[in-house]
Amino acid sequence: MDRISLYRAPTTAVDADAVARWLDERLDARVTVRERLLQRLRDDDLPEAFAAARVLSPYERETGNQMLGIVRYEQRALDDPARAGGVIYDGLQLQRSLNARLGETSLDHLRIGLLDRVLGTWGDDGRWHKRVTVLGQPALVSVPGLYEAPAKPEAYYQEKQKHAMLTGDAPPREVLEHEVDGAFLVEDDPRTTDAIKGPVLQAVHLVETGEAFCDDDACRLYNAHHQEALVHAQLRAPEFCPRHADRYG
């Protein structure tokens, strides 16, 4: 791999330049920060591609709603990303659509898009699962996926249940975040930039080695399914397991 283009996310708390500098210290490839991937690849049909990749139900494999109102929503979301939200997209379907717009198959130049959309993949258990990364070309890294994909600590759900029993309503997010402070990432968390470095590196690591993830939960290449594991892998020392420290440390 000769080049890596890291594309900014428009509405999230990620400092793409800081991530690029971190990568540059660990890789031989030249790392360049570019503006939004979706803006770079946008054409008249991209809103329809997003509408077609919409997940309709957590338990239905079929995706897509291309009614006129939905397509217009996707047009507005591309124009003004702050208006997007509350939708899960089939990450693999979206990746294929963006790959076709790239018009290249070579992995000598890896494109990594930081997105402010929630991505999912269909699981063997017959339901959709939110993901932080969809690896490949382009690699897609979902910033809200950091907050939403890994399961939160048990204390979070206990506080949620307790509040519901006392009030009959779901507690505001801010209440739960206060009760279980620091144990998981929250929207616009100041730790987001540091936490996303590992998922971005996972995209590079797959292309260079054929290995996507590491089994060591103390390594940034670990694919965490719980928030505590994510915080441990991405925000605690050491950064890498001994094997990957030889390569990236």
- Determine the pLDDT at residue 101: 95
Got the DSSP string for the chain?
--EEEEEPPSSSS--HHHHHHHHHTT-SSEEEEES-HHHHS--TTHHHHHHHTBB--TT---B----HHHHHHHHHHHH-GGG--S-EEEHHHHHHHHHHHHT---SSEEEEEEESSEEEEE-TTSSEEEESEE-SSSEEEEHHHHHHSSBPPHHHHHHHHHHHHHHSSPPPHHHHHHHTTTSS--TT-TTHHHHTHHHHHHHHHHHHHS---BS-TTSTTB--SBHHHHHHHHHSS-SS-HHHHHHH-
pLDDT at residue number 151? 87
Read off the pTM: 0.90
Q: Is the pLDDT of residue 169 over 90?
A: no
Residue 155 has pLDDT above 80, yes or no: no
What confidence category does residue 93 fall into, taking pLDDT thresholds of 50, 70 and 90?
very high
CATH classification code of 3-150+182-248: 3.40.390.10
Q: Where are the domains of the chain?
A: 3-150+182-248
Which of 14-18, 117-121, 169-173, 222-226 shows the lowest per-residue confidence on average (mean pLDDT)? 169-173
Q: Looking at the predicted structure, is the pLDDT value of residue 179 above 60?
A: no
- 95-99, 171-175, 179-183, range with the lowest pLDDT: 171-175
- For residue 230, the model assigns a pLDDT of 96
